[in-house]
Structure 1
Amino acid sequence: MAAGDIETYRRNGIWFNRIEGESTTLGMSFESREDAVKVGRSAAAARQVDHSVSADEGPSADTSMYERHPRELIA
């Protein structure tokens, strides 16, 4: 992930979004993965950056890409 990209991750069973390179979370926490991913993808599309979803607990460089890149959604 590059600085400025959005990552959706889980910590202690709660889902969060964060901007790569920043220590704080982006917005609120989520009980469901789906809600967190929806908000993370929207934030990434608005910023025209990449979005990833972490497979494990906590922010990680080892992430899997979630569907298509937000830049591909802008036409």
Structure 2
Amino acid sequence: MGKNIHVTNHSQGGYQVKFSGSSKAYRRTETQREAIEIGRELARNQHSELVIHGRDGKIRQKNSYGNDPFPPKG
């Protein structure tokens, strides 16, 4: 499983896509929707988790695109 991918606010406006532990943005976008689309594609390719943060910086949503250790039954 790859590193988690985060979608957060960028300090200079817009949104950014970052890998966990990285100090630099992988990509910067104007809208959160664009950043989420980029992050989702990266997470699928890396078999990792996409973590979407709200404007307040708190985690708003998580999506796992890797080997989920606790898959739902059925």
**TM-score w.r.t. structure 1 length?**
0.71
Q: How many residues align?
A: 65
* 2:50 alignment partner AA: H
Q: Does 1:71 align with 2:66?
A: yes
| Percent of residue pairs bearing the same amino acid type | 14
* 2:54 alignment partner AA: A
SS at match of 1:65: strand
Q: Which runs of 5+ in 2 are unaligned?
A: 68-74
TM-superposed deviation, 1:51: 0.3
TM-superposed deviation, 1:70: 1.7
SS at match of 2:15: strand
The structure whose residues are more often helix, as a share, is: 1
Q: Does 1:53 align with 2:49?
A: no
Rounded to whole Å, the distance in 2 between the matches of 1:4 and 1:55 is 20
Rounded to whole Å, the distance in 1 between the matches of 2:64 and 2:49 is 6
TM-superposed deviation, 1:38: 0.1
SS at match of 1:44: helix
Q: What root-mean-square deviation, in Å, do the aligned CA atoms of Structure 1 and Structure 2 show?
A: 2.2
TM-superposed deviation, 1:65: 1.9
SS at match of 1:21: coil
